[in-house]
Chain A
């Protein structure tokens, strides 16, 4: 419960009408909760059911018995195209993509944001505007030249995706860091310069120690977006180089042919788990990034 709620009056006195009002309110909230939670619940349940039972009773029903088969097969035996090593290698593809891409785009954004706020020069505002210009633009605009560039670099693999996520993540990370760093008083940097500290010394000794809150927000933002990204992954990588979202789109059960809902459901959860865990563990920062990133962006 929050004191800052805009309508404390509604709970003040317990007339019948108001009690009814509260009941309706809670019923509505719970109903909405069911709408939002149900799809996830269905996938979890489906992933724990036997294939035969699903075919008999449909996707939307209670498991007769719980089985971990689908999980095992999704992880190690499901097929993406002709590759039947399961989701595990693709999960690792995504990890190999998301870790360096998040790290580099965050570091670059931090340094760019720091330089543009604390070492202003004529044109630094323009530089910033240009840097974040691409933030709104649909990815479709960049597909062709990106494909040509990656072809030219010979990087139609995970490393290509790392490059792309730096290319298109920098605008966001710079925006986040800049908006945070403008709040650090310029006098602190001035004092440090007089004290004899240089650009990187000030960054490392003064600015960085003040940055953990924004670093958490940016890392979560970048991690979530890069992990969940589909278009670039599906367009610029093929075969065994696919990140997990693109693999999920193509996943089938181990035998091929008939659809294996249990395996697909387990695969869905495997693909969604990292970002869901981040959401559960650091929801506050996720929301902060979401609201700041979308409003300012």
Chain B
């Protein structure tokens, strides 16, 4: 049982405030992913939890114990670094057993623990090599082994996979997920790869500029992003944004996009209530954009715009269609775009049930919209 409580934690480097009063409660056995753009403070937060850098303000509790000012060694945590940070002059075996040795674990026990972990990670045959004689993926495993062998309360992983090539990264991602499920340990995992975040996390904390934008289970983060930043950060290709004016009239509510295009949507009374006379940002994920054909015309509850196809990029599983819309582009992900080609003018329909609306001024999602559209 290991929980982590981050209570009003702040971090400043001189006058620069890098983390602004964070509050997070991590439950036992959870795999919390911290995700966010470069420089948002993910590593800083992690190294404060590890005790490697001081907490400027606030408290840190591991398992209910206040560890705000404890030495890293007294926190019973293990950490995996982006660069692996293996001890270059030691063999793999020594690397893995170093932590046990420092904690005065008897030799026989150490040997057994190293063997077990090596077997678990399938690196038994590498035990007598030096880190310089290992491939990137093998080093990664050793780094994991070094963390696992001590059986700590909490695992901290700082972009552990970002130095691997794409294929290996996917493999190791799966393995980390399996490991987590098998061990049931509390983990905090930092990444700026949103796919890693989505696949691994029990919960995701999306960070920006030292603040948490949203903290929730992956499904909610994806489907109900708290604001434009979260919506655009999670999901690939990125969500499409189209700024619209909302015009209420006797006929209903009209959404008017930039330029001459506009469409009357009659199911959107509540949207108008939410932002009377104001503009909104319409957000629609590429997989929710549908190209209208003769056999499959525009449906009720859809919002349609005539757009020009700029380019079609097949990725194998799907085709990615880039449409232009004035100065903007809209991307559409579909199974097969074979019937169109670049330059065609098509009608793109946005399912209003899937469409998200954001306040132009604050960037926050307008919660009423989805419910009303339905």
Contact = CB atoms under 8 A, between A and B. Distances in A.
Interface of A: 185, 187-188, 190-197, 201, 205-206, 209-210
A194 B50 contact: yes
Contacts of A190: 47, 50, 52, 72, 79, 81, 85
Given A195-B98, A195-B102, A197-B98, 15 more contacts: A185-B83, A185-B85, A188-B85, A190-B79, A191-B146, A192-B102, A193-B71, A194-B50, A194-B77, A194-B79, A195-B73, A195-B146, A197-B73, A209-B90, A210-B88
A195 B98 CA distance: 7
A195 B89 contact: no
Contacts of B82: 187
Nearest to B75: A194
A194 B78 contact: yes
Contacts of B81: 187, 190-191
A117 B323 CA distance: 53
Contacts of A205: 87, 90, 98
Q: Which residue, B51, B78, B87, has most C-beta atoms of chain A within 10 A?
A: B87
Given A185-B85, A196-B73, A206-B87, A191 B102 contact: no
A187 B81 CA distance: 7
Q: Which residue, A188, A194, A206, has most C-beta atoms of chain B within 10 A?
A: A194
Contacts, number: 64
B301 interface: no
9 contacts: A190-B50, A192-B87, A195-B73, A195-B98, A195-B99, A195-B150, A196-B103, A206-B90, A209-B89
Contacts of B72: 190, 193-194
Interface of B: 47, 50-52, 71-73, 77-79, 81-83, 85-90, 98-99, 102-103, 146, 150
Closest 6 A/B residue pairs (Cβ):
A195-B99, A196-B102, A187-B85, A209-B89, A196-B73, A191-B85
Contacts of A191: 79, 81, 85-87, 146
Given A187-B83, A205-B98, A193 B52 contact: yes
A209 B130 CA distance: 13
A220 to B, nearest CB: 22
A206 B89 CA distance: 7
A67 to B, nearest CB: 53
A196 B77 CA distance: 10
Contacts of B83: 185, 187
Contact of A197 (B50, B78, B102, B146): B102
A190 B73 CA distance: 10
Nearest to B71: A193
Q: Which residue, A188, A190, A193, A196, has most C-beta atoms of chain B within 10 A?
A: A196
Contacts of A195: 73, 98-99, 102, 146, 150
Contacts of B47: 190
Contacts of A192: 87, 98, 102
Q: Which residue, B51, B78, B99, has most C-beta atoms of chain A within 10 A?
A: B99
Contacts of A187: 81-83, 85
